[in-house]
Amino acid sequence: MKRLLSVLFLLAATVTAVIGVNVTYDHRAVVIDGKRRVMVSGSIHYPRSTPDMWPGLIQKSKEGGLDVIETYVFWNLHEPVRNQYDFEERKDLVKFLKLVADAGLYVHLRIGPYVCAEWNYGGFPVWLHFIPGIQLRTDNEPFKAEMKRFTAKIVNMMKDEKLYASQGGPIILSQIENEYGNVAESYGPAAKSYIKWAASMATSMDTGVPWVMCQQKDAPDPIIDTCNGFYCDGYKPNADNKPTIWTENWTGWFLTFGGAVPYRPVEDVAYAVARFYQRGGTFQNYYMYHGGTNFGRTTGGPFISTSYDYDAPLDEYGAPRQPKWGHLKDLHKAIKLCEEALVATDPTTTSLGQNVEASVYNTSSTCAAFLANVDTQNNATVNFNGNSYHLPAWSVSILPDCKNVAFNTAKINSMATVRKFVAKSVGDKLSDSKAISSDWSYVSEPVGISSNDAFDKKGLVEQINTTADQSDYLWYSISINVKGDKPLLRDESQTTLHVKSLGHVLYLFINGQLEGSAIGNYDHPNFSKDFPVTLKHGKNKLDLLSLTVGLQNYGAFFDKTSTGITGPVKLDGLKNGSVVDLSSQRWTYQVGLKGESLGLHTGGSTLWVSGTPKSQPLTWYKTNFDAPSGDNPIAIDFTGMGKGEAWVNGQSIGRYWPTYIAPSTGCSECSYKGSYSPTKCLKNCGEPSQKLYHVPRSWLKSNGNILVLFEEKGGDPTQISFATQELESVCSQVSESHPLPMEAWSEDKSKSKPSVSLECTHPNQVISSIKFASFGTPQGTCGNYSHGECKTTDALSIIQKACIGSRSCSVDVSTTTFGDPCIGVVKSLAVEASCA
């Protein structure tokens, strides 16, 4: 009987699972099976992590309070060669979506297929560029045919796997095109007809779920136009029957090689999100919730770094970034407490004074309110609904019952953590050396032309047209004859080679020797440079190696952005004072490196010789290594190397470039108050933009792993080391005056007190020591607390007693627990602990 029952139960479960839900929308919200929903979404791009990381990322998204995972679909990853598709491993879109469904979350599938995303060529395959007569992203038949073919490919794949909500799957929304409204003007009248076509092409695919277009004010019905930005409060869609949706709320910003590391304070992210729901929004997406890593040559830009951490709530390696993750989790709980009121009616907003306003969602059965202080400096105390409320500057308080504050965006209850990468020796090393290996072999890459596929051409070529992005590298080679009897050149010190390039990086070799280099940056990939050169009498070989560092991904006609040495290239320093222009002479070209054509990245080939030449440009290095022990995330610290690409067991972990240093200025103190911009909050000025590079654990065996590097400039591989991410401290600081912790909301409110909660994130660890505890007026931040003037004497022992040996603990922030060291002063409790 029991067995029969469970069979019946299973049958019932299967039946409900295949019955689809009806996703529609109205002016308030996305409507699922007739019910309006308030939803929180977060972006995770599946190829920016590995399949073994996906379940953990999705689980932490769910715990963080997300309802929806949003991802782009990356056309150039899935169709590297026209009509040859790849959906394996990191590209296994279906597997990713099924894992999201298994976790009980919904999906917003942004097909694009133009995706921007700081991704190479905005996600377009470069082969599109070579289709005769094609014009991308406009009303052009060859382009529309390709876009429709790929969109249909993905839609049909989703349908075959029953992944649309209408079929019982997780996909409730889908996006066509991407931020086209930002650039449409440049495409003239064709923009309008293109968008009309894209809208009807998409809706004709009959997915059973709504489509959206972001940053597209003229999105044709029934497509919902949505907002992207740092703030989207006040956004109104283009028709009364469409809900207000925020498809990209930038949780931070992307890093570039040559830039400092951007971050966005969580108080400001929370403020932006609360303002959005306050002013009528019902669906908001964090871009990114997990940023991850640009493996291989997938970065766009140009100059986007390999790390795509984005200061997201989940860090590059998948760990919760605290307090960001936790504070937003508390925010989501507060918003969910308001859901019934939010979907029932429109808000009524009234001014409570200068820069202070209340929005109330009030019906006969339910009431929720948001009180906002949009002043960038001044705190405010306001009267609302018969009570008095303190509103810190640039903050929103959420009152799910129009009376009690469940959350204030500027007051963080969540725990903070400090995670650090700690150098780790590998294998059973006898020495203390943290080097990955002292035992390397190498292959020297020939300078200049070495391939039978090299070709001659008069004049300088454009790089993307020439390489079709099959490689970062393009050789431009030429010979110059300096006649011995009647020397052409003035004094050698006065001879210069002037090179103008559209980017992105250039190395100049003269007679086989590296003479100099030039680099662009994110804002200006192009450069002009005068290289002092030394030429000998007779024939001189000039080899210019031009590199791309990710192709343009944004802007009108971004696909037509040129790169490479388009000239002029001139030699200055002739005896008679004139300049020799080499630009229109006959050059020899080679796409890619010899080592690339030999497949050296796998570590195969018989060319490897033992040894570790240092500071030698154009060198392939190889070593074997054992995986660092434990299960914490791993990175390689590339300090000591110049620039290049690295492969672990044949898989590219991306371009490395630890020698590109961020500007030394621009990192001054940053307040969360006031409008955010990508340059407002920066750190690591004067340091390498990126020195740590993620090595996914799942790419490693316990021993016998192969690491291959291709170094362009010259470096010392014996200096590079593994580092593992370690949890240094967990901290919390909570004030007596903080709103009640969210857990207490549904309990007896009169009894609950604000509390400090700590938890070791690793399941096998417990709180092992209390590094700091103070009740009174402590100062500082996690890792850096100090006592204030007011403090009790026994805070440390109270916390030790409550926490040591437990995985988590919670202590009330109250004079009942600690006594009162300074009557009349608002006190807080700060604790720093470590886990082991």
Q: Does 231 bind ligand NAG (CB under 6 A)?
A: yes
Active-site residue among 118, 146, 177, 248?
248
The alpha carbon of 165 is separated from its chain's Cα centroid by a whole number of angstroms, namely 27
Q: Does 730 bind ligand NAG (CB under 6 A)?
A: no
Min dist CB 195 to ligand NAG, Å, is: 18
Contacts with ligand NAG: how many residues (CB under 6 A)? 32
Q: Residue 120: which of 249, 251, 257, 296 has the closest Cα?
A: 296
Q: Residue 347: which of 33, 27, 23 has the closest Cα?
A: 27
Min dist CB 447 to ligand NAG, Å, is: 26
- The site map against ligand NAG for 290-329 (x = CB under 6 A) is ----------------------------------------
Omega cis (within 30) before 392: no
Binder to ligand NAG among 27, 31, 201, 570 (CB under 6 A)?
Answer: 31
3-state SS assignment for residue 270: helix
- The site map against ligand NAG for 394-413 (x = CB under 6 A) is --------x-----------
Min dist CB 231 to ligand NAG, Å, is: 5
- Is there a contact between 76 and 69 (Cβ–Cβ < 8 Å)? no
Tokens read off for 71: 């991802």
Min dist CB 392 to ligand NAG, Å, is: 4
Whose CB is nearest to ligand NAG?
229
Q: Under rule CB under 6 A, which residues in 771-790 are in contact with ligand NAG?
A: 780-781, 784
Nearer to ligand NAG, 20 or 714 (CB): 20
Q: Of the listed pieces 141-149, 302-310, 457-465, 650-658, which binds ligand NAG according to CB under 6 A?
A: 457-465
- The site map against ligand NAG for 572-611 (x = CB under 6 A) is --x-x-x---------------------------------
Min dist CB 379 to ligand NAG, Å, is: 4
- The site map against ligand NAG for 678-707 (x = CB under 6 A) is ------------------------------
The alpha carbon of 283 is separated from its chain's Cα centroid by a whole number of angstroms, namely 21
Nearer to ligand NAG, 52 or 221 (CB): 221
- Is there a contact between 692 and 316 (Cβ–Cβ < 8 Å)? no
Q: Residue 370: which of 469, 273, 470 has the closest Cα?
A: 273
Q: What is the Cα gyration radius of the chain?
A: 30
Binder to ligand NAG among 127, 197, 527, 608 (CB under 6 A)?
Answer: 527
Active-site residue among 70, 118, 146, 179?
179
Q: Does 368 bind ligand NAG (CB under 6 A)?
A: no
Q: Residue 633: which of 290, 305, 262 has the closest Cα?
A: 290
Distances (CA, A) of 599 to 544, 547, 602: 23, 19, 6
Min dist CB 63 to ligand NAG, Å, is: 28
Q: Does 376 bind ligand NAG (CB under 6 A)?
A: no
Q: How many CB atoms lie within 10 A of CB 554?
A: 17
Q: How far apart, in whole angstroms, are the C-alpha atoms of residue 249 and residue 729?
A: 29
Min dist CB 524 to ligand NAG, Å, is: 5
Q: How far apart, in whole angstroms, are the C-alpha atoms of residue 682 and residue 258?
A: 13
- Is there a contact between 44 and 97 (Cβ–Cβ < 8 Å)? no
Q: Under rule CB under 6 A, which residues in 348-367 are in contact with ligand NAG?
A: 360, 362, 367
**Which 8-state DSSP code applies to residue 415?**
-
Q: Does 257 bind ligand NAG (CB under 6 A)?
A: no
Q: Which amino acid is at 317?
A: Y
What residues pair up with 475 in beta bridges, in sequence order? 545, 590
Q: Under rule CB under 6 A, which residues in 475-514 are in contact with ligand NAG?
A: 488
Tokens read off for 758: 């700590």
Min dist CB 745 to ligand NAG, Å, is: 18
Q: Which amino acid is at 696?
A: P
What residues pair up with 279 in beta bridges, in sequence order? none
Binder to ligand NAG among 230, 295, 558, 647 (CB under 6 A)?
Answer: 230
- Label residue 444 exposed, middle or buried (CB < 10 Å: 0-12, 13-18, 19+): middle
What residues pair up with 513 in beta bridges, in sequence order? 510
The alpha carbon of 616 is separated from its chain's Cα centroid by a whole number of angstroms, namely 33
- The site map against ligand NAG for 120-139 (x = CB under 6 A) is --------------------
Tokens read off for 398: 């959420």
3-state SS assignment for residue 62: helix
- Is there a contact between 499 and 518 (Cβ–Cβ < 8 Å)? yes
Binder to ligand NAG among 203, 425, 526, 765 (CB under 6 A)?
Answer: 526
Q: How many CB atoms lie within 10 A of CB 704?
A: 11
Handedness of CA 199, 22, 98, 102 (dihedral sign): positive
Q: Does 179 participate in catalysis according to the annotation?
A: yes
Binder to ligand NAG among 392, 617, 628, 696 (CB under 6 A)?
Answer: 392
Min dist CB 358 to ligand NAG, Å, is: 8
- Is there a contact between 50 and 699 (Cβ–Cβ < 8 Å)? yes
Q: Of the listed pieces 91-99, 224-232, 419-427, 585-593, which binds ligand NAG according to CB under 6 A?
A: 224-232
Which residues are CB-neighbours of 787 under 8 A, at least 6 positions away? Answer: 774, 776, 778, 779
Q: Under rule CB under 6 A, which residues in 528-557 are in contact with ligand NAG?
A: 528
Binder to ligand NAG among 2, 3, 4, 34 (CB under 6 A)?
Answer: 34
Tokens read off for 262: 């951007």
- Label residue 159 exposed, middle or buried (CB < 10 Å: 0-12, 13-18, 19+): middle
Min dist CB 562 to ligand NAG, Å, is: 4
Nearer to ligand NAG, 392 or 603 (CB): 392
Binder to ligand NAG among 49, 151, 226, 228 (CB under 6 A)?
Answer: 228
Question: For the chain, first and last CA: distance in Å?
Answer: 48
Binder to ligand NAG among 14, 193, 204, 379 (CB under 6 A)?
Answer: 379
Q: How far apart, in whole angstroms, are the C-alpha atoms of residue 348 and residue 698?
A: 52
Nearer to ligand NAG, 354 or 562 (CB): 562
Handedness of CA 332, 265, 776, 729 (dihedral sign): positive
Binder to ligand NAG among 193, 241, 383, 465 (CB under 6 A)?
Answer: 465
Binder to ligand NAG among 9, 13, 14, 22 (CB under 6 A)?
Answer: 22
Residue with tokens 């780790």: 424
Nearer to ligand NAG, 73 or 369 (CB): 369
Min dist CB 254 to ligand NAG, Å, is: 12
Q: Does 515 participate in catalysis according to the annotation?
A: no
Nearer to ligand NAG, 448 or 739 (CB): 739
Q: Under rule CB under 6 A, which residues in 624-643 are in contact with ligand NAG?
A: none
Q: Which residues are the active-site residues?
A: 179, 248
Residues forming the site for ligand NAG (CB under 6 A): 22, 24, 31, 34, 228-231, 360, 362, 367, 369, 379, 385, 392, 402, 462, 464-465, 488, 524, 526-528, 560, 562, 574, 576, 578, 780-781, 784
